[in-house]
């Protein structure tokens, strides 16, 4: 399979605990390469826009507030089968269900504050990368 790109966020619970390096190490050890990265404070518009697919879910307000609560690190990851590989390294949404050794099993605090985001398919990966990065910010 050709090289693929996916979009990743290191979430506020992780920047707050100063464990961005530990998370990036897991991604790199799993064969992914960071080809774009920036630390930002998400605006309300960005958080609501990014998670618009969840706007009717009961946790939406909490999710948006959480994503704005501390800085995040947005990243583009590249590698063979990067979308599925990133999801595998992240582990299940609920850390109680995440496989041992995954980022969420080791670091996530709860289902809501679960340390990382990763795109769930090729279409969302492309949309999410474009939402946060211009082409010249991605250096493969």
Contact positions vs ligand DAT (CB under 6 A): 54, 59, 63, 93, 111-112, 114, 117, 120
Do residues 77 and 5 lie in contact, with contact meaning Cβ atoms separated by under 8 Å? yes
117 is catalytic: yes
3-state secondary structure of 135: helix
Of 20, 32, 117, 118, catalytic: 117
Distance of CA 25 to the CA centre of its chain: 14
Binding to Mg ion, residues 75-134 (CB under 5 A): 120
Least distance in Å: CB of 136 to Mg ion? 27
Residue ranges at the known binding site: 11, 59, 87, 93, 104, 114
What are the catalytic residues? Answer: 117
């Amino acid at each position: 399979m050709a090289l693929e790109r996916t979009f990743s966020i290191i979430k506020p619970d992780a920047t707050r605990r100063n464990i961005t390096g530990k998370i990036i190490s897991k991604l790199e050890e799993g064969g992914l390469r960071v080809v774009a990265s920036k630390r930002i404070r998400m605006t309300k518009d960005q958080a609501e826009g990014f998670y618009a697919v969840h706007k009717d879910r009961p946790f939406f307000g909490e999710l948006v507030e959480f994503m704005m609560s501390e800085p995040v690190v947005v990243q583009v990851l590249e590698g063979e089968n990067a979308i599925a590989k990133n999801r595998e390294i992240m582990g299940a949404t609920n850390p109680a269900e995440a496989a041992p050794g995954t980022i969420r099993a080791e670091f996530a605090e709860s289902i809501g504050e679960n340390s990382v985001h990763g795109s769930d398919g090729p279409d969302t990966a492309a949309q999410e990368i474009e939402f946060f990065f211009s082409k010249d910010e991605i250096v493969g």
